[in-house]
Structure 1
Amino acid sequence: MTFVQLIDCKTSRFDEMNRIMDRWVEKTRGRRTATHDVIGRDRSDASHFIEIVEFPSYEEAMRNSNLPETDQVFREMVALCDEMPTFVDLEVVRDEQLYTDAVRRLFGTLATAGELPPLNDLIAEGCHSHDPVNPQDTIGLDAIRREYRMWRDAFDFTFTIEDLIEQGDRVCARWTWDATHKGEFLGIPSTGRRVGMSGMTLFRFGEDAKIAETWWQHDQLGLMEQLGALDELER
């Protein structure tokens, strides 16, 4: 079970403390067990800092604490604090990855039959979509919805998300796409063929927690081959 430790301290010498932490990171590289570390400063008190450290489990946190470098850096940091730091140990009982949930919702919505929803709860009005198969970026929610409708009019399809990784304001999805060609696509009449491709999409979220930018990578050449579009070129 994920374990989180909160370290609450007051110091007027944060720059010095920061340098100590940098040295600890360097000395323990490859051996420390923390997976995420965030330090926040109190907006109402510039000397008040809270560090949030995440570990895969309590046992891994104890392994981290038992490193000799950890004990040394703790003593050095305490010496820079205005008072003794306090610690809160937390077993995580609920963990929501809100950006990854939004990405899952988008893929699910795109693959759902019927009228395409407005998507304004997921995508920002000024969103930029980058796709190497398009000569220009698709800019704006309305233009992005038109592009999505073009795919939906041409295919009945499903997405399978193989991997979903969130870091900061970005989410990367690796997916596979399985479809039936039911309508005209880039000048190719409906073939009724079952087709598929794999790809990756990087999503950047804005301050409003909506998708602000996307980068698509997919095997469109392979798709065109499956649709028979390359047959004439091979003759």
Structure 2
Amino acid sequence: MRADNPYHEPENNPARIGCITASDLLDALKTAKGRKTYVYKKATERITNETKQGFISAAMVRGQELEAEAKHELEILSKRQVKDFKPAFIKHELIEGFGASPDGCWADENTLIEIKCPENPAYHLDTVNEKIIKPEYQTQMLAQLSVMRSRGFDRCDFISYYPALHEDGSHFAVVSFVPSLEEIMELEEKVMVLNDEIDAAIEIVRTQKKATVEYLRRTNGKTKESK
């Protein structure tokens, strides 16, 4: 059995603190409220150089536990090798504070691999029968390809793995995701705007910190004078 990717780093890896990542970018793009929360979270990480462990769902745990198994089974079925990246978290060469952790790639071609292990068989069968990729996964892969295109990657194989269907032979579904350069550049523009918002939030925090200290000291001085 294939071992877990030895290059996976914990969430508090210094390389990814404060970074916009492929896996969480959609949190900032869905709603205005979610964007504000995201901006403040990343701003806090950049100020403190620390990160807090986020919410881990049962689906996320399942995915982490089954990823190595999925790669092992994928290699057997495809008779090809799946390569892990070292380091696992890779930063964009041009856009500061932006990176991704692709699940891997095919060793014999420049195609990324994104593996999902859904709890709900309906999601898996959607991929098997209708080649449907949920929008949030498309955003994740688009961001990964933005980070990795300087290394020659221009496509990603989206792979759904549902081990309960192994005996039937339907345990894997594969959809090739090949976005246009325009789509990638459009996403990069959104990332750069988001980065500017995070930097602006940090600047406001620093300005307000100075104003707060000055106000408190002025107030303290007036109190002493009145006694």
Q: TM-score, normalised by structure 1?
A: 0.28
- Higher-Rg member (1/2): 1
Name the one with the larger strand percent: 1
Bigger relative contact order (CA 8 A; separation at least 6): 2
Name the one with the larger helix percent: 2
